[in-house]
Chain A
Amino acid sequence: MSRRIQISLIRPLLGATDAVGVISSIAGSHAAQIERKIYYPYFWYSADCAARTLFGKKALTINCLVDGRGGLGATADSFEVDEPAVPREAVMLCRTGETQARRSAQRFVTHNLARGSKTVGNFEVALESRGLVYKAFWLVRCEGAMVMVDSVTAAVHLLGERAA
């Protein structure tokens, strides 16, 4: 019997059937099938930002997830977190350190605020660490290719030839 560990999981919105449906509708094929499910690690930060505009400061709070293996930052919509017990072998280990992740989050949020507002400005970004969370990805095989499906956003990405 496989070991199970408890993780903080971003509440998924897509089940296995939904994931297969996404791939089938994109590929126009009924040959899609679930291969497995994996859990990917992210550092979760809540960023309180103040973006300066000509009409004063605009305060906004952003969820920032830093890839726990690649170290890249990304924003995320608000989400709920569950605490399920999942198979140990399905959980991908975190490789990024917290210090690096925090710096990455700070840099990512500031960069995107500057780019989006087209401003050379000093953005006040206060990061609050919310810990390590995981996101479930469905790995779906379809017509000789392996595709990963984001269980929250339904975004898809083909996996490498070696994975297929």
Chain B
Amino acid sequence: MSMTVILFLVLYFMVVLGIGFWALRQGSGADLEGYLLGGRRVGPMATALTLQSTSMSGFMFLGAGALGFSQGYWALWYAAGDIGGGVLNLSVIGRRMRKLSQMMGALTSIEYLEKRYPLPAVRLFAGTLTIFLLGFYVLAQFIAGGKGMALVTGIPYPAALAIAVAVILIYTFMGGYLAVVYTDFFQSLIMLVGVLWIAVAAVTELGGLTAANHAIAEIDPTLLSVWGKDLGFQGQWGIVAGALLIFSVGYMGWPHVVTRHMAMRSPATARSAGAWATVWNLFFVPTPYIVGILAVVILPGLDDPELAIFQVAEKLLPPAVTGLVMAAIMAAIMSTADSLLLQTGSIAARDLYERFVNPNASETQMVWVSRGLVLGIAVVGYLIALVEPPSVFGIVIFATSVLGSAFLPAYVCAVWWRKANSAGALASMVVGTLIAFVWQYADLAATTSMAPMLMGVIGSSVTMVVVSLATQTSMPVPAHILAAMQEAEAIGPIPKRLLAATDFSLTTEAGEVSEMLAGGDRDE
């Protein structure tokens, strides 16, 4: 392994540390306070790119590349869904969920589910399932980090894995320096430039895209089709639909993604941030898949397809650039893992421990619950990653399929359908989970040509409707929730610009004032 690569990797981390140190040592601390307490001074572009750098994880650098290497242009079905998923999510549930969560006083996405569907079992099931599945997602980051670290440094995989897990744990517990918005923004740019640089180098190496496709055709012409290697998915539109849906529609079922709606400042800001995120996605998302496809020619003897992007970079780029790109990839992996661990810890502490075990729990007790769970995930994750590491792609697709199947109808119906009640929500989550899990575990996609997530979402959606309608009398939606939903809906005739300028932080006050003007203050 080139010492230049390691040198530039270390240099990159020193720059990131330096940015963090500078930001934290500013005299007024205003930026730190602003970022720690909602980042209200952060503009839409920085907001968008910091979110993207946190979202883009080991899956993009290992899983996407591996899929492209293994299945050719079939992989781009996933990219197509991923590009528009964020905007779709924002458009369908963003604004309404922001208002509804504010009016109901929910701080987390799991708490929001119970407040919308008032049934303790909803929160218990949702919290437990989310922790379990996000734990899998974290496992994917551990494996990605360990493999990447091993390749970059030459350290054996077990030791590299241990280092990766340890580093992730350190700044999950200590935090601060990598959380400043400037470093996330800087990382997002490095990631984008880096992955595009790899792609351009790969295309140039092969003499252009046309020449590259000809070379691929000589190796295996089926890789050029959209039906995968050996045309394995030809005509299987259920599988294609699943590939498209998993990152487009599936985002709406991810508790750790929809929680971002709860921090939205205003529709105008959200739209601007969404536009920037889409532009960034257009360039970033397809690229790792394409590099994986080109690796078929560049690295014909590649043993581990998950290392396609890393090894293409190592082969084609100058050592200094390789070091920077590797560092950005590692930082992205670790940043995502840190965010996921924070989510699971928060759910365990607030949504499970405080809610069901100890309602009077102190902040210290809840911190220890969080830390205990994070440590547990780290230990279990390390052992699994060490003994029998599953593929990064397989893990992420599994977790995403089950999350989307379980939660998508619950989050969408929460804001769009007034008859969606607690019984319907709980039943839909259970049914969606079971279908997606069984479909995956029993590999029913191979015999039915229907993707697990597609079947899971269909099953959970039908269950939501049937059970909600069947239990409208016995378990009606409470009046205060119906009132909140009505308030959260678009009203008008309204000047659109007024609506776009709405500041969501005033949603609760607006509701109280509206009620007062409509019916008078109940206390008078």
Chain A residues proximal to chain B, CB less than 8 Å: 23, 26-29, 38, 40, 51-55, 58, 60, 62, 67, 69-72, 74-75, 92-93, 95, 106-123, 125, 137, 139, 142-148, 150, 153, 155-164
Contacts and interface: CB of A to CB of B under 8 A. Distances in A.
B95 to A, nearest CB: 12
8 contacts: A74-B505, A75-B37, A109-B37, A118-B175, A119-B176, A146-B517, A157-B510, A162-B517
Contacts, number: 208
B503 interface: yes
Contact of B510 (A28, A123, A158): A158
Nearest to A162: B518
- Which secondary structure dominates where chain A touches chain B? mixed
A26 B498 contact: yes
A147 to B, nearest CB: 6
A157 B503 contact: yes
Given A71-B105, A125-B363, A113 B36 contact: yes
B367 interface: yes
B37 A112 contact: yes
A38, A52, A55, A108: residue with the most chain B Cβ atoms closer than 10 Å: A55
A160 B502 CA distance: 13
Contacts of A27: 495, 497-498
A92 B513 CA distance: 8
A155 B510 CA distance: 12
Interface in B475-515: 486-487, 491-495, 497-499, 501-515
A60 B33 contact: yes
B345 A53 contact: no
Q: Report, nearest first, the 3 A-B pairs whose CB atoms are least far apart.
A: A53-B176, A119-B175, A116-B36
B276 interface: no
Contacts of B494: 143-145, 158
Contact of B32 (A23, A54, A60): A60
A51 B180 CA distance: 13
Contact of A55 (B107, B177, B338, B495): B177
A143 B491 CA distance: 13
Contacts of B29: 58, 60
B498 A163 contact: no
A54 B37 contact: no
A35 to B, nearest CB: 9
Given A27-B497, A158-B494, A53 B502 contact: no
A158 B488 CA distance: 11
A163 B32 contact: no
A113 to B, nearest CB: 6
B509 A137 contact: yes
Contact of B105 (A72, A114, A120, A121): A72
A147 B342 CA distance: 38
Nearest to B170: A54
Given A116-B37, A116-B179, 12 more contacts: A23-B498, A58-B32, A70-B103, A92-B516, A93-B524, A117-B179, A118-B342, A119-B174, A121-B174, A122-B367, A123-B363, A159-B517
B200 interface: no
B283 interface: no
A74 B29 CA distance: 19
Given A51-B176, A54-B174, A142-B498, A67 B341 contact: no
B506 to A, nearest CB: 4
B510 A51 contact: no
Contacts of B501: 26, 156
Contact of B36 (A112, A144, A156): A112
B71 interface: no
Contacts of A118: 171-172, 175, 178-179, 338-339, 342
A163 B495 contact: no
B521 interface: yes
B523 interface: yes
B376 interface: no
A112 to B, nearest CB: 5
Given A117-B179, A155-B506, A159-B517, A70 B172 contact: no
Contact of B179 (A95, A119, A122, A160): A119
Given A112-B37, A119-B173, A120-B172, A67 B509 contact: yes
